[in-house]
Copies of this chain bind each other. A is one copy, B any other.
Amino acid sequence: MTDQDPPGAEQDEGRAGLRRAAFLKAAREVFLEHGYDNASMAEIVRRAGGSLSTLYAQFGGKKGLFEAMVDARVEELTEPMVVELSAHTPIREGLQRIGERFMARLSEPDALNVFRLMAGQARTFPDLAGGYARRGPERIRSALAAYLKDRAEAGEVRIENFDVAAQIFFDLVRARMALRTLFEPDYHPSDADIREAVDRGVRVFLGGVEALAP
């Protein structure tokens, strides 16, 4: 009876879509809570509603469900990382803003948990792990590289390789927290922590990058 039915729209909820979304959400919760091995398919169904049979029909099995879940999650976490950075913002301010946005994204509990989970399962799901690690940072890094290029042309910095420089900046900003959060599941940086870490990163970066292009 429905007369809309958009032809190529898979993302919007048919009845199958609704079920699928519910399964993915529950799977995310349970996997992140218990880890891959200790997550139970039955509990996922319990939380999602629906039935075990449908779960298996839609995802094939535990492995398939996990992959689908991570895929969806990476998409969600990556998407909002595009930073609105008017190209001509002064460099210090621009770096600070892009750095904070980046760290805020990475510091959300869910993102951290996916991070940890993937690290643990890297050898079981090599493709997924590689993809996750690459897809996330890639987009924002190239955005930063472009921004650095713009600033270099404006004469604010002297940089030789923009991609390398962007990489260094992010590493500098995230290293401390990324490593710490991996091993202390209960540590969650506050906004102030983030601001401070980024500030320190920006200062070292601005002082140091030019040493790479003499």
- Using a CB–CB cutoff of 8 Å, the interface residues on chain A facing chain B are 35, 37-38, 116-124, 126, 129-130, 132-133, 164, 167-168, 171-172, 174-176, 178-180, 182-186, 200, 203-212
In whole angstroms, how far apart are the Cα atoms of A131 and B122 in the complex? 23
> Which residue in B179, B207, B209 is a CB contact (below 8 Å) of A178?
B179
Contacts of A164 in B (CB 8 A): 200
Query: Could you tell me if A207 and B211 are in contact, using CB atoms closer than 8 angstroms?
Result: yes
In whole angstroms, how far apart are the Cα atoms of A83 and B183 in the complex? 25
Which label, helix, strand, loop or mixed, suits the secondary structure of the A interface? helix
Query: Could you tell me if B133 and A122 are in contact, using CB atoms closer than 8 angstroms?
Result: no
In whole angstroms, how far apart are the Cα atoms of A183 and B120 in the complex? 9
Apart from A126-B185, A168-B172, list 11 A-B contacts with CB within 8 A.
Answer: A122-B182, A129-B185, A130-B183, A164-B200, A171-B175, A171-B179, A203-B211, A207-B207, A207-B208, A207-B209, A208-B209
Contacts of A132 in B (CB 8 A): 183
Contacts of A126 in B (CB 8 A): 184-186
In whole angstroms, how far apart are the Cα atoms of A110 and B37 in the complex? 22
**Nearest residue, chain B, Cβ from A118:** B183
In whole angstroms, how far apart are the Cα atoms of A142 and B30 in the complex? 40
In whole angstroms, how far apart are the Cα atoms of A164 and B197 in the complex? 11
> Which residue in B119, B178, B180, B206 is a CB contact (below 8 Å) of A116?
B119
Residue pairs across A and B with Cβ atoms less than 8 A apart, 26 shown, are: A35-B124, A37-B38, A116-B120, A117-B120, A118-B183, A119-B119, A119-B120, A119-B182, A120-B120, A122-B185, A130-B183, A130-B184, A164-B200, A167-B176, A168-B204, A172-B175, A172-B204, A174-B175, A200-B212, A203-B208, A203-B211, A204-B208, A204-B211, A205-B208, A206-B211, A208-B208
